[in-house]
């Protein structure tokens, strides 16, 4: 669906080159232990973590969770569609849509932990003394990595919005209201991810990189927010009484 048209920094996290060994050990070791079970927390526990006086999880993790719930609703539409004689002509296509929806849900859920792990080095970097000669370089690479995950979320939610449009068009009419709910959730997830990209690009000294990433963010918003609104309104209009 949406092509990856931007090359992000090395997946081996460039900031590792600049951070000293002890800081790397503290950030990565503690972070992996702390966040690896985040996805296993209950809804109550996760929302309590969001409500607490901590920055992780924050808006990025919340956006990923909302997007995952949104596309899960699309998958549910598929489940209520397959096996029905009325929709036999779209059944194979529906299975394909459901498979992709399941993949997106898992990828978005994984972004919760990825976002936390990307943010923690940045939080640590802010504590580096301003007279440290490596501070600017460390900060720049941490900012780029912190922006990378919400940018990925935006592309995933773009795919999710397109999928939800197909679920709405082809799925069982008795549950298309769930596709409407799902698409506005994915729109919100995309918008939440966008602001989490831009809070990082605003502080980058690499203006060209920041502008390129901001351009991708704006293009995604310009295309997919109206698309989500159109899908939602088309479903809502079916419930208007004469």
Sequence length of the chain is: 242
Residue 185 burial (C-beta neighbours within 10 Å; 0-12, 13-18, 19+):
buried
Supply the angle between the helices 135-170 and 91-125 in degrees, to the nearest 10.
Answer: 160
> Which pLDDT does position 42 carry in this prediction?
79
Per-residue pLDDT for the chain (242 aa), expressed as one digit of tens each?
333 443 433 333 333 333 433 343 444 444 454 555 666 677 887 778 878 887 777 789 999 999 999 999 999 999 999 999 999 999 999 999 999 999 999 999 999 989 888 887 887 878 888 888 888 888 888 899 899 999 999 999 999 999 999 999 999 999 999 999 999 999 999 999 999 999 999 999 999 999 999 999 999 999 999 999 999 999 999 988 76
Residue 140 CA to residue 137 CA, distance in Å, equals 5
> Which pLDDT does position 58 carry in this prediction?
78
Cβ 183 vs Cβ 120: under 8 Å: no
> Which pLDDT does position 82 carry in this prediction?
95
Can the peptide bond before residue 33 be classed as cis, meaning omega within 30 degrees of 0?
no
Cβ 18 vs Cβ 125: under 8 Å: no
Residue entry with tokens 């504590």 = 127
Confirm whether 7 is domain-assigned. Answer: no
> Which pLDDT does position 242 carry in this prediction?
67
Supply the range of the domain harboring residue 55. 15-239
Confirm whether 146 is domain-assigned. Answer: yes
- Residue 241 parent element (H or E): none
pTM of the complete model beyond 0.85: no
Question: Angle 237-238-242 (CA atoms, 0-180°, nearest 5)?
Answer: 85
Confirm whether 2 is domain-assigned. Answer: no
How many domains does one find in the chain?
1
Confirm whether 212 is domain-assigned. Answer: yes
CATH of the domain at 172: 1.20.120.680
Q: Which residues, at least 6 apart from 140, have a Cβ–Cβ distance to it below 8 Å?
A: 204, 205, 206
Residue 204 CA to residue 213 CA, distance in Å, equals 11
> Which pLDDT does position 191 carry in this prediction?
98
Residue 19 burial (C-beta neighbours within 10 Å; 0-12, 13-18, 19+):
buried
Q: Which residues, at least 6 apart from 203, have a Cβ–Cβ distance to it below 8 Å?
A: 139, 143
**Cα-Cα-Cα-Cα dihedral sign, residues 180, 185, 189, 194:** positive
Residue 13 CA to residue 106 CA, distance in Å, equals 22
Cβ 125 vs Cβ 142: under 8 Å: yes
């Amino acid at each position: 669906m949406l092509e990856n048209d931007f090359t992000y920094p090395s997946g081996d996290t460039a900031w590792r080159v600049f951070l000293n060994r002890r800081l790397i050990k503290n950030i990565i070791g503690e972070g992996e232990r702390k966040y690896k079970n985040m996805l296993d927390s209950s809804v109550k526990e996760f929302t309590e973590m969001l409500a607490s006086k901590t920055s992780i999880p924050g808006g990025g993790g919340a956006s990923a969770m909302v997007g995952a719930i949104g596309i899960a609703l699309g998958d549910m539409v598929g489940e209520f569609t397959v096996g029905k004689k009325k929709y036999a002509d779209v059944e194979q296509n529906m299975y394909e849509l459901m498979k992709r929806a399941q993949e997106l849900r898992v990828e978005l859920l994984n972004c919760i932990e990825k976002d936390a792990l990307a943010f923690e080095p940045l939080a640590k970097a802010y504590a580096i003394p301003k007279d440290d000669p490596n501070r600017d370089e460390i900060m720049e690479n941490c900012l780029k990595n912190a922006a990378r995950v919400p940018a990925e979320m935006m592309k995933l939610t773009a795919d999710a919005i397109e999928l939800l449009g197909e679920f709405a068009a082809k799925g069982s009419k008795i549950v298309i209201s769930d596709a409407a709910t799902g698409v506005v959730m994915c729109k919100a997830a995309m918008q939440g991810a966008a602001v989490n990209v831009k809070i990082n690009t605003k502080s980058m000294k690499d203006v060209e990189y920041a502008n390129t990433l901001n351009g991708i963010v704006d293009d995604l918003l310009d295309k997919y927010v109206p698309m989500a609104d159109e899908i939602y309104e088309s479903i809502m209009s079916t419930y208007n009484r004469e």
